Amino acid sequence: MAITIRMPEAERVMEQAYDLACSDTSLPDYWTSVAQQTFAMDFKTYTPALGAALLARAVDDRVDPLAIKSAHSQYAFSLRTVGHNLLIPLADHYGFSVRTTTREPLNNQPFFRYDHLLEIDRVRNRAEFDRYVNSLKPLANLHGDDAVEALAAFVRVGLREAANRPSYDVSPVVGHLAGVIAASDSFMADGLDVPRRAQALVAAAFDSVHDDVRSRAINDPSRDIPGDVQLYDPNGKVVASVEVRTKPVQPWEIRGFVNSCLEADIDRVMIAEFLPESTPVNEGTRPNDATLMIYHLPSEMLEQLWAASAKGPAAGAAELFHERMINRLVEIEAPETSVRRWIEMIEQNKRDSAE
């Protein structure tokens, strides 16, 4: 029987670790160094992985800190579950960085395919991976307060990293609606960081009219639900899915995506094909048993969404879109230049609107 780490115990341990991290208490040099080293690694996922392992061990000192999936042994735990359900919410609550804001930070390679770190035989940067694994091994010898102090060292480093993150002053005023819509097209026309900009834009657009919108990480390998951006109803059911593409979509790809959605009981299907020039898709490629909408420009998408929703421009959809656009760009780890470029475009629209 594998080990399950539950939220009440995780909250208790994290509160202790946070209090230690914020105090003048001297914390272990080794784990402070490990945290600093991991925050500096090229592969960002090692950071939430370290945090999840430290949290799990602090809760239950039987935990094998090198485990990835609970199926591995009786001392294993689900690294992905601890990262997604426990570490990310607690990091958000206490305000420390884990280098990512995605909902599922461990839902990628090499953690996706293997049950244990020592099973991994293929990674892009072997030297960095070995350094990460070797630094984690001593965690197996920590118990009780020692494990909590190791977690506190990680939290302290995470708090410092959070304090150094770029901050963005978001004004609730956006200017003329037409300018915001036009800015969405211009933002994509820049031709920079296109995949992240496109997916952030789609997610933010639906954020402005729908309560529960979830966006995948770029190149998410799991694909348990078709599409890149999904809309959920209050019961947690996917009611719509959007595939975001920045290259031409072929008719057979459209049919495949629609069929995948229908098999997943999703009957509202959308494709955002954001290209400089886009040829309208042949109507014959559209199946009759699904509502398929294909957007070729961000402006087209925004206009249709806001026209059809009660949360339209009069209800502040444009202002919410601007706020969520910044959040989505940060979440999907777009470069700071992309975030600041979007803010500049809205600021320019405000100035133009005032003239």
pLDDT in tens, 245-261: 998 888 889 989 999 99
In angstroms, the CA 87 to CA 11 distance is 10
- DSSP single-letter state for residue 212: -
Q: How confident is the model at residue 278 (pLDDT cuts 50, 70, 90)?
A: very low
Q: Is the pLDDT of residue 102 over 90?
A: no
Q: Is the pLDDT of residue 112 over 90?
A: no
In angstroms, the CA 237 to CA 232 distance is 5
Q: pTM, whole model, 2 decimals?
A: 0.70
Q: Is the pLDDT of residue 279 over 60?
A: no
Q: Is the pLDDT of residue 14 over 60?
A: yes
Cα three-residue angle 42-46-125, rounded to 5 degrees: 50
Predicted local confidence at residue 236, as pLDDT = 87
Highest mean pLDDT among 131-140, 272-281, 327-336: 131-140
Q: Is the pLDDT of residue 128 over 90?
A: yes
Q: Are 82 and 114 in contact (CB under 8 A)?
A: no
Average pLDDT over residues 116-129: 92
Q: Is the pLDDT of residue 286 over 80?
A: no
In angstroms, the CA 6 to CA 82 distance is 8
pLDDT one-digit tens code per residue, 213-251: 998 877 665 567 899 999 999 998 999 999 999 988 888
pLDDT one-digit tens code per residue, 171-181: 777 888 899 99
Q: Are 247 and 213 in contact (CB under 8 A)?
A: no
Q: Is the pLDDT of residue 72 over 70?
A: yes
**% pLDDT > 90, the chain:** 63
Q: How confident is the model at residue 265 (pLDDT cuts 50, 70, 90)?
A: very high
Mean pLDDT of the chain, nearest integer = 88
- DSSP single-letter state for residue 65: T
- How many other CB atoms sit within 10 Å of the CB of residue 302? 26
Predicted local confidence at residue 333, as pLDDT = 84
Predicted local confidence at residue 281, as pLDDT = 47
Placement of tokens 């090499």 in the chain: 110
Q: Is the pLDDT of residue 148 over 90?
A: yes
Placement of tokens 């993150």 in the chain: 165
Q: Is the pLDDT of residue 316 over 50?
A: yes
Average pLDDT over residues 178-206: 93
- How many other CB atoms sit within 10 Å of the CB of residue 24? 5
- How many other CB atoms sit within 10 Å of the CB of residue 43? 18
Q: Is the pLDDT of residue 122 over 60?
A: yes
Q: Torsions phi, psi of 319, nearest 5?
A: -65, -40
